[in-house]
């Protein structure tokens, strides 16, 4: 599986946040295809809120999400500027944080390190949304995407009752990263590195695998080896909240 220490998390968050803002400026009223009923302005406002929330969690070392103090929302004409300022502030907070600092998160890993790691994919996937809305092609950084898939399978897969009835491997064709998701008797999937001999496979670049997980890429855009129903079962029962 990928190793997170090889990534410059804060540099990735900064770059994708700036890229999101640049793409959003093209047309704030454009629809965001994979976020129903959202415009690009709604997308920017959402990520601004995400940055404000997690910045407070880490800076104030919050032990519960209810301790968050919601800041005043920027007006529409101030939105892009406020977003850029908020993104830089989040990066500064995360760069100064000790990853081992205990804080509230929605995952089993309750520390600033999880926030730092997860904010990479938050910025990357939503940058893709903004670039897509602007009609631009964009691929998420390969190493960041592979690590995000790894994180998702570790923390967000959840219980897939009624999902997989056979193993499925996710294979990043542009790296050595691969994972096999095995069904378990109690319904909770078990993830192991590599490709099991008896596993069906979902193959593609790491960016496309991550975008597939988040419903931005159809299964048909990737290479399926074996039972074509397995990827859809996995995605249907997985949590991408």
Residue-wise pLDDT for 190-241, tens only, equals 899 999 999 999 999 999 999 999 999 999 999 999 999 999 988 887 755 4
User: What's the whole-number mean pLDDT along residues 5-18?
Assistant: 94
- pLDDT score for 239: 58
pTM assigned to the model: 0.94
User: What's the whole-number mean pLDDT along residues 43-56?
Assistant: 98
Q: What is the topology classification, in CATH, of domain 4-133?
A: 1.20.120
Q: Which CATH class is domain 157-237?
A: alpha beta
Q: Where in the chain is the domain with CATH 1.20.120?
A: 4-133
- pLDDT score for 158: 67
Find residue 171's DSSP bridge partners.
178, 203
Q: Where in the chain is the domain with CATH 3.30.1050.10?
A: 157-237
Residue-wise pLDDT for 74-128, tens only, equals 999 999 999 999 999 999 999 999 999 999 999 999 999 999 999 999 999 999 9
Summary mean pLDDT of the chain: 93
- pLDDT score for 24: 98
Buried b (16+ CB within 10 A) or exposed e, 101-128: eebbbeeeeebbbbbbbbbbbbbbbbbb
Least confident stretch, 95-109, 137-151, 154-168: 154-168
Q: What tokens were used for 23?
A: 């793409």
Residue, of 52 and 158, whose pLDDT is higher: 52
């Amino acid at each position: 599986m990928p190793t997170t220490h090889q990534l410059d998390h804060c540099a990735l968050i900064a770059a994708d946040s700036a890229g999101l803002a640049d793409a959003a400026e093209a047309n704030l009223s454009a629809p965001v295809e994979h976020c129903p009923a959202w415009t690009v302005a709604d997308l920017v406002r959402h990520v601004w809120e995400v940055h404000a929330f997690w910045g407070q969690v880490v800076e104030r070392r919050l032990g519960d999400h209810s301790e968050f103090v919601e800041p005043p929302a920027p007006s529409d004409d101030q939105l892009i500027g406020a977003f850029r300022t908020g993104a830089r502030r989040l990066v500064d907070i995360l760069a100064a944080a000790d990853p081992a600092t205990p804080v509230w998160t929605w995952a089993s890993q309750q520390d600033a390190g999880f926030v730092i790691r997860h904010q990479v994919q938050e910025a990357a996937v939503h940058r893709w949304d903004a670039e897509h809305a602007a009609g631009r092609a964009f691929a998420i950084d390969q190493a960041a995407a592979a690590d995000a898939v790894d994180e998702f399978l570790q923390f967000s897969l959840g219980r897939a009752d009624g999902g997989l009835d056979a193993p499925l491997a996710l294979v990043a064709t542009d790296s050595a990263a691969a994972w096999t998701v095995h069904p378990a008797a109690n319904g909770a999937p078990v993830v192991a590195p590599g490709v099991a001999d008896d596993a069906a496979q979902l193959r593609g670049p790491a960016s496309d695998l991550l975008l597939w997980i988040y419903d931005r890429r159809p299964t048909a855009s990737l290479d399926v080896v074996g039972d074509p129903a397995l990827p859809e079962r996995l995605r249907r029962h997985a949590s991408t909240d």
